[in-house]
Amino acid sequence: MAIMPKEFATGFFRMSGRRGAEGPSRRAFVGSAVALAACQPAARGQPAGRSLPPLRAVAPFPVGSAIQAEQIDDPDLAALIAAQVSQVTPEWQMKMEYIVGEGGALRFDAPDRIASFAAAKGLRLHGHTLIWYAQTPAAFEALDSQPGPFRDAYANYITTVVGRYRGRAASWDVVNEAVAEDGAGLRDSLWSRRLGAIEHMRLAYELAHAADPVAILFLNDYNLEYLPAKRACFLRLAETLLKAGAPLGGLGTQTHVGLDLPAGAIAAGLSDLASLGLPLHISEMDVSTARFHRLFSSSAELAARQGAVYAEAAKAMAGLPAAQRYALTLWGLRDRDSWRVRENRADTPLLFDDLGRAKPALADFEAALSR
């Protein structure tokens, strides 16, 4: 493992027990169980007349959910996650904003809790995320601009984080949101400026693979359903990385979408992404309802449209070759836990309501898998 500059290394490997901020980072772009009787009282379960099996029992692919460490302390949510899904992704507590503290100190208290919860419940763990243009900790920015020291610190970070969860994390989003919004090229970032536009990514995959040769390594991005030009650029980037020898093992499409998404857009996007033959991950799905009420004459119509979007995703994922169905991850289960609701309290983007009761969209999602 490369040795980083002495002045940075002192703090970089010092583990801190401090808790992180109580909420996740805010992204500039904006676009609770079907309870088992043994887990929830009847009043908190599915609506009367609706008997739906758990998602994990219905889908012919793994279904996941985002999770924060604090949510493990909510027994209702913990039971809902364990009953419904087969995979979890840390919502933000495996990102640099949490792990890299002041002076370069690393803290793993929250991601360790999530990893332990996943292991205890028999859930697969998906690591998220190693390199993201939007997060550039001050400890990295303060490094000498010469490539040697910066490269050493970069290498040590990836090696340390992936190595810590070796054998526990089945996969990683190694590079997140590298494509420019309009699809005209790649984003500029601290990482690209210091190490090269393609080289910083190729190096990240190489380092992650060396730290855990078994983990599947993903390239992840958003708005690929809305913007075909961005999707095409994303595919070109994936091809470039593969030709450069990067051990890229899968493609992730976040699928943060709204009710304005044209019908067929998710299916078309997955079909394009499948062309490289890699495993695909719908990695952060939610379907925003905020700002779209004017488009529908009733709440029932709005709910039906939300269900149709979820159903399309389920059917499109199920229609892929079995080897390419890595997972469909929901970015939360209960509405009240969603990042979208933290942005807009009127939003209802997930499959379960605030109390963990199944919404109509859940029935639509599951019905799509039986057709």
Domain boundaries, the chain: 61-368
Residue 343 annotated in active site: no
Output the pLDDT for position 50. Answer: 55
Output the pLDDT for position 144. Answer: 79
Class level of CATH domain 61-368: alpha beta
Q: Which of 97, 206, 284, 312 is catalytic?
A: 284
Residue 267 three-state SS: helix
Output the pLDDT for position 29. Answer: 31
Q: Which two tokens stand for residue 116?
A: 């332990």
Residue 320 main-chain phi, psi, to 5 deg: -75, 155
Output the pLDDT for position 147. Answer: 75
Does residue 16 register a pLDDT over 50? no
Q: Which of 177, 206, 225, 312 is catalytic?
A: 177
pTM here is 0.88
pLDDT, mean of residues 82-91? 98
Does residue 38 register a pLDDT over 50? no
**C-alpha to C-alpha distance for 113 and 137, rounded to whole angstroms:** 23
Does residue 270 register a pLDDT over 70? yes
H helix or E strand, kind and range, residue 169: strand 169-176
**C-alpha to C-alpha distance for 49 and 53, rounded to whole angstroms:** 13
Does residue 4 register a pLDDT over 50? no
Confidence band for 129, pLDDT divided at 50, 70 and 90: very high
| Beta bridge partners of residue 66, listed in sequence order | 89
**C-alpha to C-alpha distance for 56 and 167, rounded to whole angstroms:** 22
Lowest mean pLDDT among 17-26, 159-168, 177-186: 17-26
Confidence band for 145, pLDDT divided at 50, 70 and 90: confident
Nearest Cα residue to 212 out of 162, 259, 253: 162
Does residue 22 register a pLDDT over 70? no
Output the pLDDT for position 2. Answer: 32
Q: Report CA-CA distances (Å) from 58 to 5, 53, 140, 356.
A: 51, 7, 45, 19
The rounded percent of the chain whose pLDDT value lies above 70 is 87
Do residues 258 and 287 make contact, with C-beta atoms less than 8 angstroms apart?
yes
Do residues 353 and 359 make contact, with C-beta atoms less than 8 angstroms apart?
yes
The mean pLDDT value of the chain amounts to 88
Instruction: Rounding to the nearest 10 degrees, give the CA dihedral for residues 41, 46, 50, 55.
Output: -110
Output the pLDDT for position 192. Answer: 97
Confidence band for 1, pLDDT divided at 50, 70 and 90: very low
Question: Left (φ > 0), alpha (ψ -120 to 50) or beta: where does 185 sit?
Answer: left
pLDDT, mean of residues 214-223? 98
pLDDT, mean of residues 180-184? 94
Confidence band for 14, pLDDT divided at 50, 70 and 90: very low
pLDDT, mean of residues 216-236? 98
Output the pLDDT for position 51. Answer: 76
Higher pLDDT among residues 294 and 65, named by residue: 65
Does residue 371 register a pLDDT over 80? no
pLDDT, mean of residues 163-171? 98
Does residue 152 register a pLDDT over 60? yes
Lowest mean pLDDT among 42-46, 61-65, 123-127, 191-195: 42-46
pLDDT, mean of residues 282-295? 94
Residue 177 annotated in active site: yes
Higher pLDDT among residues 8 and 107, named by residue: 107
Do residues 343 and 30 make contact, with C-beta atoms less than 8 angstroms apart?
yes
Does residue 121 register a pLDDT over 50? yes
